[in-house]
Structure 1
Amino acid sequence: MKRRQFLTTGGVGLAASTLAAPAIAQSMPEIRWRLTSGFPRSLDTIYGAADVMAKFVSEATDGKFQIQPFSAGEIVGTFQAVDAVGNGTVEMAHSSSYYYVGKDPTFAFASAAPFALNTRQQNAWMYYGGGLDLYNEFYKKFNIYMLPGGATGAQMGGWFRKEVKTVADLNGLKFRIAGLTGEILSKLGVVPQQIAGGDIYPSLERGTIDAAEWVGPYDDEKLGFQKVAPYYYYPGFWEGGAMVHFFFNRQKWEELPKNYKAIIQAAAGYANVDMVAKYDFKNPAALRRLVASGAQLRPFSQEILEAALKASSEVYADLSAKNPDFKKIYDSMASLRNDSYQWWQVAEYTFDNFMIRSRSKL
């Protein structure tokens, strides 16, 4: 660029930025929002994504936009968060969509469901495969708007007071399980129990339930499940890549200035990446500590996995026949999953499988 042209262009840019300053200031009003979390504050990683997001928004707006997170139960309970957002009790929530399948089973796939997506596939579907648009069209019925707000990676299958080797061992088992999985496992004899995270330990300790799943080693260690149920099963085939979400009251979202929306989108995206990175970093050491303290790792048998897969297919077919919203979203998810695994087996799976078998040589 020639010097004269640079100075001319730079002068115009400087003048424009100077003139624009009042307009920028006017577009950054003072806003105070409350966020209700679906999680207890003690779970610093899954609850912590709300703090990460709120801090990002505050710093990006010089403190003009403040979001105050509240843990589950401080304003409303875990399973009332979406209602509180939709009716305007709070402006937003941080929770998992599948907690609300009682409203409509379509809520499930935004988070996770048996034999659905892993974390990277879930992100691919949400951001590029149409998943986010499909869900925000669906969520209009509930007066909410959603952005991805975290992921756990593949979860563990949970803590059991006794071993479960066959499908027959599941008969009558009272199992704390969330989302659609309860309905699916009930076809195998399980008695599903929906219990908020903070209430799982006392239920397991008292024998009110026989087994419970939460997330994975880091959170499970914090909640102390190894003290009351020794058998630690894997994988959590119902949560291959569970996603957490920021839910917004739709009117409040639409009222935001354009720049505030952009900042929230960036903050939510950062929180989404940050959560899974934390779990990937913290889970290995936590698993070693759990095993050292007596936890007994057990894989679910092929018999159980195959039976659960069959039951899942039956439930999905039945719901698709009755619920057009469910069918539209399930078909979209399943299409991406099947295409993705064709690619996954070529590079990702081959590389990971080789590296796992080669650990002793590294």
Structure 2
Amino acid sequence: AAAGTSTLAAPAIAQSRIEWKMVTTWPKNFPGQGTGAVRFANSVEAATEGRLKINVFAAGELVPPFESFDAVTRGAADLMHATPYYWPNKSKALMFYSTVPFGLTTGEQEAWMQYGGGQELWDKVLDPFGLKGFHAGSTGGQMGGWFNKEITGPGSVNGMKMRIPGLGGEALKKLGMTVVNLPGGEIFAALQSGAIDATEWVGPWNDLTFGFYKVAKYYYWPGMHEPGTQIEVTIDKKKLTSLPKDVRAILEACIYQENLKFTAEFNARNGASLQTLVQTHNVQLKRFPNDFLQAYGEKCGEVIQELRDGGDAVTKEVIESFLKARREQASWNRIAEQGFMNARLLDYKFPS
């Protein structure tokens, strides 16, 4: 009888095991994004006790990085680990789910997503594609980018060629810049060869790993183009809803946990990495001049207004919801977060 029970149990266990393919837009094991994707997949397998196993494919292993969206919609993969502004050809509204220049910080974005209707509108954008999106971490505030020419004013970027995706790139086009979008693994060679004159990626931790300090002179701040860039785990909706209820609940809990871990890791590592860039590699930090930031902000506003007036009802709904959140969050954080940060910079004695 015992032998018979064992024989019957094995197929039942095998049948309950689900394997998914997750494509990513990141180089294999790239610190932060690549390692975060693997950490997330491992956490799901551990938490479900092997009932859901997610096999991770780095950029180019299953599909090219910028084909990840299509890979999920056509069934070549079950989910992707990416960032939504890579898919403006699917919907312009998706760019608002990565980051918006002069828009929301990471904390403000989370407030909009969870309590301001942001998630429900994202669902609305993705539903025609048969997808369900979740935020799975933020890089936090970013740097403005790597340049081989000094930026002395708005005219400095005219004729320059820069790798910069999303709404930030669209706004720079209005200042005369030529904008290209390259996956992370191709940026260094493009900058080294002169195919591009400048690039942004993320911030000190990621940028140190890529070695941009070897091929660019100046490291500019602040990163107004990306105040809190979000990572996505976006899943084939049919596959998600077909999961056993407890497995789906565990999966979503793991995404939320990764959202916290990913964000915390970037916040933890950027400071020390910035010191390494400056003190070990003699990187020159430069602040964008105010007249450039002012002109950039104006052009970003124009881009957003054009999208709002572009005739797509869902995009307009997303933008209006986003701008409402921006107004409300800015009115509070001018007093709270910004007030605290300004006070912390005052000259007073404090243990180092």
Task: Confirm or deny a common fold (TM above 0.5).
Answer: yes
Query: Displacement, 1:330?
Result: 0.9
Equivalent positions of 1:293-308 (< 5 A) are 293-308=281-296
Secondary structure (helix, strand or coil) at the match of 1:32 reads strand
The 2-side partners of 1:235 and 1:325 are apart by 31
Partner of 2:321: 332
Q: Which runs of 5+ in 2 are unaligned?
A: 1-8
Q: Indicate which of 86, 89, 92 corresponds to 1:105.
A: 92
Equivalent positions of 1:273-312 (< 5 A) are 273-292=260-279, 293-312=281-300
Q: Indicate which of 192, 197, 202 corresponds to 1:210.
A: 197
Query: Displacement, 1:360?
Result: 5.5
* Letter of the 1:295 counterpart: V
Partner of 2:343: 354
CA contact (8 A) 2:162 2:199 kept: yes
**% of aligned pairs identical?**
36
Report whether the alignment pairs 1:193 with 2:193.
no
Deviations 1:302-358 (A, max 9, x none): 111111111111111111111222111111111111101111122222222212335
Equivalent positions of 1:39-78 (< 5 A) are 39-78=26-65
Query: Displacement, 1:146?
Result: 0.6
Q: Indicate which of 304, 322, 332 corresponds to 1:343.
A: 332
The 2-side partners of 1:57 and 1:42 are apart by 18
Deviations 1:40-70 (A, max 9, x none): 1242212222122112211111112100111
Equivalent positions of 1:121-136 (< 5 A) are 121-136=108-123
* Letter of the 2:76 counterpart: T
The 1-side partners of 2:97 and 2:72 are apart by 17
Q: Which runs of 5+ in 1 are unaligned?
A: 1-21
The structure with the larger Rg is: 1
The 1-side partners of 2:29 and 2:217 are apart by 22
CA contact (8 A) 1:170 1:190 kept: yes
Query: Displacement, 1:261?
Result: 1.4
Partner of 2:73: 86
Equivalent positions of 1:231-246 (< 5 A) are 231-246=218-233
Report whether the alignment pairs 1:315 with 2:315.
no
Secondary structure (helix, strand or coil) at the match of 1:269 reads helix
CA contact (8 A) 2:168 2:226 kept: no
Q: TM-score, normalised by structure 2?
A: 0.93
The 2-side partners of 1:308 and 1:262 are apart by 42
CA contact (8 A) 2:81 2:233 kept: yes
CA contact (8 A) 1:86 1:250 kept: no
Secondary structure (helix, strand or coil) at the match of 2:86 reads helix
Secondary structure (helix, strand or coil) at the match of 1:357 reads coil
The 1-side partners of 2:118 and 2:64 are apart by 27
Report whether the alignment pairs 1:224 with 2:220.
no
* Letter of the 2:302 counterpart: E
Taking a change above 3 Å as real, the CA distance of residues 339 and 199 of structure 1, as seen in their structure-2 partners, is same
The list of structure 1 runs, each at least 4 consecutive aligned residues, that deviate by more than 3 angstroms after superposition, is none
Taking a change above 3 Å as real, the CA distance of residues 30 and 42 of structure 1, as seen in their structure-2 partners, is closer
Report whether the alignment pairs 1:29 with 2:22.
no
CA contact (8 A) 1:157 1:237 kept: yes
Taking a change above 3 Å as real, the CA distance of residues 192 and 173 of structure 1, as seen in their structure-2 partners, is same
The 2-side partners of 1:79 and 1:256 are apart by 27
* Letter of the 2:143 counterpart: M
